[in-house]
Amino acid sequence: MTAMTERPAACESTRFSLRPLMFEAFVCTIAMMSFVALIGPIARVLGLAPWQAGTAVTVGGIAWVLLARVWGAASDRRGRRRVLLLGLAGFVLSYGALCAFVIGALQNTAPVWLAFAGIVLLRGLSGGFYAAVPACSAALVADHVEPQRRAAAMAGLGAASAAGMVAGPGLAGLLAARGLELPLIVTGLLPAIALLVLWRWLPRDERHAPADAVPLKIGDPRLRRPLAVAFVAMFSVTIAQVTVGFFALDRLRLAAADAAQAAGIALTVVGVALILAQMAVRALDWPPARLIRIGGLVSAAGFGAAMFAVGAPLLWASYFVAAAGMGWVFPAVSALAANAVQPHEQGATAGTIGAAHGLGMIVGPLVGTLVYQLDNGAPYALIAVLLAATALWPARRTTEVR
């Protein structure tokens, strides 16, 4: 086995704790989800077309896909703390610049082409820099947490992100009552607070891959199942997010305002279920493969039930069940991947899983809207089948790497 090189433990001035990473995940997710919630009103004021607003959101995901693996591999070579802080500092600057640019455009009535170009550029930069943070965070967990407890630790990060998903749009809506500028100012400052927290409390020991270490390949057989599960999981979630509003209009036959409310409640229910499910993972002592199998089947059942929803309450209940299952799958797939590779491959592995998530975020809405044209229940049938198939994928026996 090839080991990571590191300084002696006596040189460590800060012990590893999950709390700073959870705080960062919470506040930065608030910032990102607040911007997503605000992009519609911002686009309307600036005169941007809906497709331009959608592009501004999507470009961040594309940058994430392209750079997550790069950042993760860099943390193997340069050290987790250095790369994580560099990526987060870049996110602080680029997201702050994005908020400042939008505020300036709102106050000075910028030309549409300039507003669009600026938002796309800065949104892409912020997504590219932030791609470093989840990858390095997952690698840090793998460095400091024994294999049998990694799923629980990953669930802590996931619960913090899910809490941010719920709090972000709510905070944006609350602050937007005083104008679109205020939520941009407040959320633009949150990543800087996270940076200060991580700079103070991240472990200062340096872990580096040996100079002769062979780079991890994307097609490495050890990662085939984790990559497939990661892609299908995020693919399914984004399809469910995109189609719920249309489903409320067409299947439930709600008026536009009522459909928007039903969709908003469904997505809020998803966030709550993710938080509760990932808190449950922290209390369980199940291996990742078992969490994926049971969580995937539960989620498939939830999405399958959504096809037959005849009213908003049944739709919400279906989404709660589906999200609860996903709350077991997401941390488990990160732990499954981490347990399959060597210590000096953890960063590249976490980045590769992050890229699979990002690809699912990009492809999911496209496929979901196309399939929806066949039948308004077809997207739910598709993701139920995919989740069941990945959950029942026969697991090959591997020796966990400590």
Model confidence band, residue 208 (pLDDT cutoffs 50, 70, 90)? low
Question: What residue ranges define each of the domains in the chain, with the CATH number in brackets?
Answer: 17-202 (1.20.1250.20), 221-391 (1.20.1250.20)
Contact 390, 297 (CB under 8 A): no
User: What tokens were used for 100?
Assistant: 């400042």
Query: Regarding predicted confidence, which is higher, 9 or 90?
Result: 90
- What tens digit of pLDDT does each residue of 149-190 get? 999 999 999 999 999 988 988 888 889 888 899 999 999 999
Model confidence band, residue 290 (pLDDT cutoffs 50, 70, 90)? very high
Evaluate if residue 6 carries a pLDDT over 90.
no
pLDDT the model gives residue 13:
46
The 3-state secondary structure of the chain reads CCCCEECCHHHCCCCCCHHHHHHHHHHHHHHHHHHHHHHHHHHHHHCCCHHHHHHHHHHHHHHHHHHHHHHHHHHHHHCHHHHHHHHHHHHHHHHHHHHHHHHHHHHHCCCHHHHHHHHHHHHHHHHHHHCHHHHHHHHHHHHHCCHHHHHHHHHHHHHHHHHHHHHHHHHHHHHHCCCCHHHHHHHHHHHHHHHHHHHHHCCCCCEECCCCCCCCCCCCHHHHHHHHHHHHHHHHHHHHHHHHHHHHHHCCCCCHHHHHHHHHHHHHHHHHHHHHHHHHHHHCCCCHHHHHHHHHHHHHHHHHHHCCCCCHHHHHHHHHHHHHHHHHHHHHHHHHHHHHCCHHHHHHHHHHHHHHHHHHHHHHHHHHHHHHCCCCCHHHHHHHHHHHHHHCCCCCCCCCCC
**Among candidates 241, 265, 100, which has minimal Cα distance to 184?**
100
pLDDT the model gives residue 12:
43
**What Cα–Cα distance (Å) separates residue 348 from each residue in 19, 107, 298, 316, 344?**
23, 43, 30, 37, 9
Residue listed under structure tokens 């049998």:
148
- What tens digit of pLDDT does each residue of 224-283 get? 999 999 999 999 999 998 889 899 999 999 998 888 889 889 988 999 999 999 999 988
Contacts of 55 (CB under 8 A, 6+ apart): 116, 120
Query: Regarding predicted confidence, which is higher, 79 or 206?
Result: 79
Evaluate if residue 5 carries a pLDDT over 50.
no
Query: Regarding predicted confidence, which is higher, 58 or 123?
Result: 123
**Beta-bridge partner residues of 208:** 5
Nearest 5 degrees, angle CA 330-CA 131-CA 72? 85
Percent residues over pLDDT 70 in the chain: 93
pLDDT the model gives residue 397:
55
- What tens digit of pLDDT does each residue of 23-34 get? 999 999 999 988
pLDDT the model gives residue 44:
86
Mean pLDDT computed over 317-344 = 95
How crowded is residue 217: how many other Cβ atoms within 10 Å of its Cβ?
Answer: 11
Sign of CA dihedral 76, 78, 84, 87: negative
| pLDDT, the chain, mean | 90
pLDDT the model gives residue 212:
60
Evaluate if residue 399 carries a pLDDT over 60.
no
Evaluate if residue 84 carries a pLDDT over 50.
yes
Give the Cα separation of 115 and 393 in Å (integer): 47
Evaluate if residue 77 carries a pLDDT over 50.
yes
Evaluate if residue 53 carries a pLDDT over 90.
no
pLDDT the model gives residue 141:
94
Q: Could you please report the per-residue DSSP string of 12-72?
A: --S---HHHHHHHHHHHHHHHHHHHHHHHHHHHHHT--HHHHHHHHHHHHHHHHHHHHHHH
Model confidence band, residue 314 (pLDDT cutoffs 50, 70, 90)? very high
Give the Cα separation of 169 and 240 in Å (integer): 18
**Among candidates 296, 159, 130, 137, which has minimal Cα distance to 228?**
296
